[in-house]
Amino acid sequence: MPRVVVPLAGRPYDVRIAPGLLANAGRLIARATRARHLLIVSDRRVDSLHGAALRRALGREFRIDRAVVPAGEASKSLAVAERLYGAARDANLGRDGAVLAFGGGVVGDLAGFVAATWQRGVDFLLVPTTLLSQVDSAVGGKVAVNVGGIKNSVGAFHQPRLVLADTDLLATLPRRELASGLAEVVKYGMIADAALFTRLEREAGELSAGHPGRLSRVVADCCRIKARIVGEDERESGVRTLLNYGHTIGHAFEAVAGGRLRHGEAVALGMRGAARLAVGVGWLSEGDRERQDTLLDRFRLPARFPGPRVVELLAKIKQDKKVRDRRLRFVLTRGIGSASVAPPIEDAEVRRVLAALLHS
Ligand SMILES: NC(=O)c1ccc[n+]([C@@H]2O[C@H](COP(=O)([O-])OP(=O)(O)OC[C@H]3O[C@@H](n4cnc5c(N)ncnc54)[C@H](O)[C@@H]3O)[C@@H](O)[C@H]2O)c1
Ligand SMILES: [Zn+2]
Mean pLDDT calculated for residue range 34-43: 98
Is residue 54 predicted with pLDDT exceeding 60? yes
- Give the C-alpha separation, 177 to 130, whole Å: 7
Is residue 150 predicted with pLDDT exceeding 90? no
Mean pLDDT calculated for residue range 208-226: 96
Question: Minimal CA–CA distance to 187: which of 298, 6, 337, 358?
Answer: 337
Q: Is 158 a catalytic residue?
A: no
Question: Minimal CA–CA distance to 13: which of 156, 185, 141, 133?
Answer: 141
Q: Is 184 a catalytic residue?
A: yes
Ligand 1 atom 42: the closest Cα is on which residue? 105
**Band (245; pLDDT cuts 50, 70, 90):** very high
Q: Is 304 a catalytic residue?
A: no
Q: Is the CB of 194 under 6 A from ligand 1?
A: no
pLDDT of residue 323: 59
pLDDT of residue 260: 94
Q: Is the CB of 169 under 6 A from ligand 1?
A: yes
pLDDT of residue 320: 67
Q: What is the Å distance from ligand 1's center to 132 Cα?
A: 6
pLDDT of residue 1: 76
**Band (149; pLDDT cuts 50, 70, 90):** confident
Contact between residue 166 and residue 219 where contact means Cβ atoms under 8 Å apart: no
Question: Minimal CA–CA distance to 213: which of 170, 264, 173, 163?
Answer: 170
- Give the C-alpha separation, 9 to 165, whole Å: 23
Q: Is the CB of 107 under 6 A from ligand 1?
A: yes
- Give the C-alpha separation, 285 to 327, whole Å: 24
Residues facing residue 266 across a β-bridge: none
Q: What is the Å distance from ligand 2's center to 267 Cα?
A: 7
pLDDT of residue 321: 54
Question: Minimal CA–CA distance to 279: which of 270, 291, 268, 287?
Answer: 287
Q: Is 24 a catalytic residue?
A: no
Q: Is the CB of 76 under 6 A from ligand 1?
A: yes
Is residue 15 predicted with pLDDT exceeding 70? yes
Mean pLDDT calculated for residue range 184-197: 98
Residue 193's alpha-carbon distances to 69, 235, 265, in angstroms, are 36, 22, 21
Q: Is 3 a catalytic residue?
A: no
Q: Is the CB of 265 under 6 A from ligand 1?
A: no
Ligand nearest to the CA of 179: 1
Q: How many CB atoms lie within 10 A of CB 211?
A: 15
**Band (359; pLDDT cuts 50, 70, 90):** confident
Mean pLDDT calculated for residue range 180-185: 98
pLDDT of residue 327: 79
pLDDT tens sequence across 84-96: 999 999 999 999 9
Mean pLDDT calculated for residue range 202-229: 97
Q: Is 300 a catalytic residue?
A: no
Is residue 233 predicted with pLDDT exceeding 90? yes
Is residue 18 predicted with pLDDT exceeding 90? yes
pLDDT of residue 121: 98
Supply φ then ψ for residue 348, to 5 degrees.
-60, -40
- Give the C-alpha separation, 238 to 243, whole Å: 10
pLDDT of residue 324: 56
- Give the C-alpha separation, 14 to 3, whole Å: 7
Q: What is the Å distance from ligand 1's center to 239 Cα?
A: 24
Q: Which residue has the higher pLDDT, 133 or 327?
A: 133
Q: Is the CB of 128 under 6 A from ligand 1?
A: no
pLDDT tens sequence across 336-350: 999 999 999 999 999
Contact between residue 271 and residue 261 where contact means Cβ atoms under 8 Å apart: no
Ligand 1 atom 36: the closest Cα is on which residue? 71
